Amino acid sequence: MPTKDLFTKFPALDTEAWDQLIEKELKGKDPANIAVILPDGTKMRPFAFGQDRSGMRRGVKRDGNSWRMCVQVNPSDPDANDRLLEDLMCGMDGAIVRGDRERLPEALKDVLLAGIDLQVRHGDPSTLVWLLEEGGRQGLGDSELHLCAGLDPDTDLKGLLKRVQAHPFVRLFDLHAQAPSVEATRDMLAHGRSVLQRMLDAGFPIDQAAARVQFTLPLGDDLFLEAARLRAVREVWAGIVAAHDPEHACSYNVHLQAEVGYPEEVASPYDNLIRATLQAVSGVAAGCDGLTIPVPMLPESDALARRVARNIHHLLREEGFVARVADPLGGSGTAEEICDAFVRALSAEGNEAAAPGAGEVVANIPNREEIPLQSFYTAVDAADLEHLRFGAGAPPYLRGPYASMYTVRPWTIRQYAGFSTAEESNA
């Protein structure tokens, strides 16, 4: 976006001017109240300038940001095949199989493997052999079969390389983070490192070994933290692979499967619809390769719940156009700072230097306009409020053009307007 005329008419604000605006919006409160504690224990400044960074990360996908829209399938269900075919006919292009593997052929009846990414949870070598043979029966080329066998990390590797070396998109191991936390993510990466080394010891070339791993990460409710965590996993894993000097650049990338998570108790059954949408945005904005949205429990019907889960994918991909942006988070100062902190916390060097308690991510961001969120408002509530026309109680990024709308969470309206740093937004 050309900025020459913009800066002529509206000179860029410096750090001191931004600090003054923030103090004004805080109405005498300590600016430390809006500090965000990053995963490694450091505090993030509530605004960013382009000169603060030597460079920005960029995404790894060349043709947009498409992701596999995954549904969960239990072959033990008597109607598993009907439900799967319905989901696929309604646009889904990924399936995650959990449960009885003996009934897998029945569950996959009439399913064209070339059109989906198939992931088996807790698979075994016999299931892998059957899937490879089924791909052959369907006439699939080597590069048309996309699947993850979900083998146990301790599986005997003898003969596996010969079976899969011609299939670039067949993963053998699916490594899970048990929770959306720094500790669980660090453990997952350590597990991945050991599995990678085990394959190398068994004679896998590094390019073959790197292609056989995928990570599955549960998502939390903080959009920026979760998006940055996924991006940091890619960066740390790329460093692990780089130590073995792969021949092909694609070996640095890893298949990331993101999974929406629901709490055991919610105030309303519809809360999880909002939660699923928010978590889905964080996953796809981070560039996940696959996204699973479990079917929420709705009082109306299971059919409606399944339809809503599918439509979250479709709204983001077809109406939100997130899939057409190569790197949705590229240029976000907030995402870069948080990603830096996650990389420090997840990498081997960062583990040693991390401050005590750094694994606890705290992002207590108060409402700086001091407008309590309510289901409705009266004249008494709005008597002394400024900027009333911009929506009392609405989040800052949905209100008017004043300073607090650009602080703490820079990825807001100014990004949609083409700005990448605070000084360019001229709040």
Taking the C-alpha atoms of residue 38 and residue 54, their distance in angstroms, rounded to an integer, is 20
Average pLDDT over residues 142-157: 94
DSSP 315-334: IIIIIS-GGG-S-TTTT-HH
Taking each helix axis from N to C end, the angle separating 271-285 and 302-314, rounded to the nearest 10 degrees, works out to: 30
H-helix or E-strand spanning residue 303: helix 302-314
Say what the pTM is: 0.76
Q: Write down the CATH number for the domain with range 68-324.
A: 3.20.20.240
Taking the C-alpha atoms of residue 393 and residue 373, their distance in angstroms, rounded to an integer, is 5
pLDDT at site 407: 42
Beta carbons within 8 Å of 93's beta carbon, 6+ residues apart: 68, 69, 115, 116, 117
Residue 306's SS3 state is: helix
Task: Give the distance from CA 279 to its chain's centroid.
Answer: 8
**pLDDT for 9 beyond 90:** no
pLDDT at site 62: 56
Q: Please state, in angstroms and as integers, the Cα–Cα distance from residue 320 to each residue in 140, 185, 286, 368, following that order.
A: 32, 29, 15, 29
Task: Grade residue 327 by pLDDT with cuts at 50, 70 and 90.
Answer: confident
Per-residue pLDDT tens over the stretch 331-349: 777 888 888 889 989 986 5
Contact (CB, 8 A) for 74 and 49: no
CB atoms within 10 A of CB 169: 15
Average pLDDT over residues 194-213: 96
Lowest mean pLDDT among 48-57, 166-175, 267-276: 48-57
Taking the C-alpha atoms of residue 221 and residue 277, their distance in angstroms, rounded to an integer, is 10
**pLDDT for 262 beyond 50:** yes
pLDDT at site 265: 84
User: What are the extents of the domains in the chain?
Assistant: 4-56+332-363+376-425, 68-324
Taking each helix axis from N to C end, the angle separating 302-314 and 80-89, rounded to the nearest 10 degrees, works out to: 30
Per-residue pLDDT tens over the stretch 204-223: 999 999 999 999 999 999 88
Q: Please state, in angstroms and as integers, the Cα–Cα distance from residue 327 to each residue in 69, 342, 413, following that order.
A: 18, 19, 17
**pLDDT for 412 beyond 80:** no
